[in-house]
Amino acid sequence: MPNYLSIDTSAHASVALVDYTTGSVIAQKTSPKGNDQTETLASYVRDLLEENNEQGKNLAGIFVGVGPGPFTGLRVGLVAARTFGFVWNVPVYGVMSLHALAERVLRSGESPEEFVVASDARRKELYWARYDSDGKLLDGPHVSSATELPALPVYGVGAGLYVEELESVGAKPWVRSFDWVVDAAHLVDRGMDDLLAGKDLSDTAPQYLRESDAQVPAFMKQAKA
């Protein structure tokens, strides 16, 4: 049976090879850094396939995280996934990256009635979304300061970055999740469930949520005008 390849670069470069029938992770690579997607992603995919005797053209499909995430890192994963899909002639499925954190919460043994997952959006802000105990998205994704999050349990590396701010508004940062970043293995968990449920995952448009850090210099704007 063919396998799925999963890619997410919304936080770190992360790739996983997953069994098509069982959903079990065959192998995974995730960078410890959050700013080396361009340098690492292609080699991660190559090594993952070679080490597991897999060929891209034989894949069942590719899942890719569509964000939210920073412009440069997120684009790397999306462009790579689309390119691989075109070259290998396999389908590409878009999955919101924060779903990966929600899946990790559901598989952790925690079962809050409602909860929030949060990742680092830089600029002293968080990317976040709200879910129920079944993993259904209730609100989001959003980008905001930590003090704008609801008074609920908060999971993910974002919860660890702003503990005092979250607690000041009644939120409950979950300590054991402070090193959780979005990863490709949990992303494909959600993707496979959504495919089985008949959801359309053909949209791979990036979810940036805000403008790029890179701005056109004022003198260039004036010259263009």
What confidence score (pLDDT) does residue 213 get?
A: 53
Q: Quick one: 92 and 7 in the same domain?
A: yes
Q: Which residues contact 102 (CB under 8 A, 6 or more apart)?
A: 115, 117, 129, 131, 135, 137, 190
| Residues 86 and 117 grouped into a single domain | no
User: What are the two backbone dihedrals, phi and then psi, of residue 154, each rounded to the nearest 5 degrees?
Assistant: -125, 130
Q: Could you tell me the two tokens for 120? A: 């680092």
Neighbours of 83 (CB within 10 A): 12
pLDDT at 216: 44
Could you list the pLDDT tens digit for every one of the 225 residues in the chain? Answer: 689 999 999 999 999 999 999 999 999 999 998 889 999 999 999 999 999 999 999 999 999 999 999 999 999 999 999 999 999 999 999 999 999 999 999 999 887 999 999 999 999 999 999 999 999 999 999 999 999 999 999 999 999 999 999 999 999 999 999 999 999 999 999 999 999 999 999 999 999 998 655 444 444 445 555
What tokens does 54 get?
A: 């897999």
24 and 102, same domain (yes or no): no
The pLDDT score that the predictor gives to residue 109 is 85
Same domain, 91 and 191: yes
- 204 within some domain: no
Do 23 and 120 lie in a common domain? no
Q: What is the pLDDT of residues 137-195, one digit of tens each?
A: 999 999 999 999 999 999 999 999 999 999 999 999 999 999 999 999 999 999 999 99
Buried b (16+ CB within 10 A) or exposed e, 3-29: bbbbbbbbbbbbbbbbbeeeeebbbbb
Q: Return d(Cα 125, Cα 145) in angstroms, integer.
A: 4
Indicate whether 125 and 74 sit together in one domain.
no
75 and 34 in one domain?
yes
> Is residue 206 one of the residues assigned to a domain?
no
Per-position DSSP letters for 32-92, written without gaps between them: S-SS-HHHHHHHHHHHHHHHTT--GGG-SEEEEE--S--HHHHHHHHHHHHHHHHHHT--E
In a domain, 209, yes or no: no
Q: Is residue 213 part of a domain?
A: no
215 lies in a domain? no
Can you give the pLDDT at residue 222?
A: 54
Is residue 79 domain-resident?
yes
Backbone angles phi, psi at 122, to 5 degrees: 60, -175
Which of 150, 134, 73, 146 is closest to 99 using CA atoms?
134
- DSSP-assigned states of every residue in 148-164: GS-SSEEESHHHHHTHH
Check which CATH number belongs to the domain holding 129 and give it: 3.30.420.40
**Type of residue at 203:** D
Specify if 167 maps to a domain.
yes
Give CA–CA dist 101/177, Å, rounded: 10
pLDDT of residue 3: 96
Give the DSSP letter of residue 179.
T
pLDDT at residue 217, rounded to an integer: 47
Which of 63, 66, 8, 18 shows the shortest CA–CA distance to 41?
A: 8
Are 69 and 10 members of one domain?
yes
Task: Indicate if 130 and 64 belong to the same structural domain.
Answer: no
Element (H, E) at 131: strand 125-132
Number of separate domains in the chain: 2
Is 202 within the bounds of a domain? no
Same domain, 59 and 120: no
Domain of residue 22 covers 3-96+183-196
**pLDDT computed for residue 110 by the predictor:** 80
* Pairing mode, strands 3-8 and 125-132: unpaired
